């Protein structure tokens, strides 16, 4: 019995002395090239770029080499424009409603290198994309009433020294191009009254909680009139442009600056946009805005910028009911708070979108 016990003990000790394989030192997964571009519910990645009418603005799209161990080789990752995926995405989201489709950005408005290198000992690099927001001639900016997307894909080939990630949202990046300026963003609309003329009392008032604005140039944005937004098929017929000036407005509150309003579809053949020059009391009225900023009381690195627009205009809806022109009056204020994390150096990421 003792002999069997001794034999068992020796065998157990021998097994314990056998060298083990350090599996954590070996690659546990496949090393693949992927974009770092988190898509939203629509399948695209919102890409914020500061608007400039001349020159270019650069956006850096991260590319990573996945795996549990560090990349040990210089890998030249090839990237091209993907001309197929956007068509499939549009049909999946919008069916036959082509007016709502994402549009592929024309080649005149961007440039990027065909390859970027992930150096040995590193697992990430960036693809620099230069956006030319004013077009080739700096005079033809893209109409933001269209949903511009730059679709990119990582190219795979047996001759390349990497493998592209086969999963759709890792291998492909659908960049939803969104330029911004000092005034663009989503405004709170709870203080803006939208009233339909001739409607029974209390039944013609509309309220939209949020009004999204879009960039035209450095000092100009546009909204959609009344209750319309970017998902309306006829949205391009109902744009109201708002230019922010440095001209003081007399008789308004301290710090008030003049706003210029207009539309690109005026007259009785269009939306018949009219600026209202009197307030509810019959006193003269000039559209204006106020803007101020302050640091957060408890987070000293957080800056808050506040913008309030005071506007009054009228327009006619001539497409909802063909042959009938529905008259609306819009009056009140729109407000926006923009929060900036001053610890972040890149402006597009500094803004808390």
For residue 203, give the H/E element and its range. none
pTM attached to this predicted model: 0.86
pLDDT, tens digit, 9 for 90 and up, residues 200-221: 766 668 889 999 999 999 999 9
pLDDT of residue 11: 61
Tokens 């339909």, located at residue: 196
Mean pLDDT, the chain, rounded, equals: 89
Least confidently predicted of 29-33, 37-41, 283-287, 318-322: 29-33
pLDDT at residue 278 is higher than 60:
yes
pLDDT at 148 over 50: yes
- Whether 189 and 160 have beta carbons less than 8 Å apart is answered as no
CA distance 175 to 48: 9
pLDDT digits (tens, 9 = 90+) for 57-85: 999 999 999 877 788 889 999 999 998 99
3-class SS at 43? coil
pLDDT in tens, 92-105: 999 989 989 999 99
pLDDT of residue 62: 95
217: DSSP letter: E
| pLDDT-derived band at 23, boundaries 50, 70, 90 | very low
Q: Indicate whether 27 pLDDT > 60.
A: no
Contact predicate 250/283, CB 8 Å: no
**pLDDT tens track for 135-146:** 878 788 899 999
Task: Round to whole Å and give the CA distance between 245 and 207.
Answer: 27
Q: What is the pLDDT of residue 71?
A: 84
**Whether pLDDT at 194 is above 70:** yes
What gap in Å lies between CA 307 and CA 334, rounded to an integer? Answer: 8
What phi, psi does 39 have (nearest 5°)? -80, 155
Query: What is the enclosing helix (H) or strand (E) of 290?
Result: strand 288-295
Tens of pLDDT, residues 247-275: 999 888 888 999 999 999 999 999 999 99
Strand partners, 173: 152
| pLDDT score, position 5 | 62
């Amino acid at each position: 019995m003792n002999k069997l016990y001794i034999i068992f003990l020796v065998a157990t000790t021998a097994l314990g002395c056998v060298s083990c394989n350090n599996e954590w030192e070996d690659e546990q997964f496949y090393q693949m090239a992927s974009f770092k571009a988190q898509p939203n519910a629509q399948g695209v990645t919102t890409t914020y770029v500061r608007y400039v009418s001349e020159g270019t603005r650069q956006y850096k799209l991260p590319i990573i080499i996945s795996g549990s161990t560090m990349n040990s080789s210089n890998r030249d990752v090839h990237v091209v424009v993907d001309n197929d995926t956007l068509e499939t995405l549009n049909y999946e989201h919008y069916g036959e409603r082509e007016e709502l489709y994402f549009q592929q950005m024309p080649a005149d408005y961007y440039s990027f290198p065909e390859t970027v290198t992930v150096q040995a000992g590193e697992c990430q690099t960036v693809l620099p994309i230069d956006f030319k927001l004013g077009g080739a001639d700096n005079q033809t900016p893209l109409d933001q009433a269209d949903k511009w997307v730059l679709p990119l894909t990582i190219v795979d080939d047996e001759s390349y020294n990497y493998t592209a990630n086969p999963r759709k949202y890792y291998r492909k990046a659908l960049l939803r191009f969104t330029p911004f300026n000092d005034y663009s963003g989503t405004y709170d609309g709870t203080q803006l009254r939208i009233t339909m003329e001739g409607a029974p009392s209390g039944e013609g008032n509309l309220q939209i909680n949020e009004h999204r604005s879009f960039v035209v140039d450095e000092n100009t944005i546009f909204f959609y009139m009344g209750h319309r937004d970017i998902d309306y098929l006829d949205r391009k017929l109902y744009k109201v442009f708002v230019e922010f000036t440095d001209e003081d407005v007399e008789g308004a509150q301290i710090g008030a600056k003049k706003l210029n309003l207009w539309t690109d579809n005026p007259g009785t053949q269009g939306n018949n946009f009219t600026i209202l020059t009197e307030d509810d009391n019959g006193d003269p009225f000039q559209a204006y805005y106020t803007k101020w900023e302050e640091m957060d009381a408890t987070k000293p690195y957080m800056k808050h910028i506040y913008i309030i627009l005071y506007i009054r205009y009228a327009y006619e809806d001539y497409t909802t009911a063909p042959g009938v022109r529905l008259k609306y009056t819009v009056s009140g204020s729109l407000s926006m708070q923009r929060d900036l994390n001053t610890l972040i150096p890149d402006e597009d990421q500094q803004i808390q979108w």
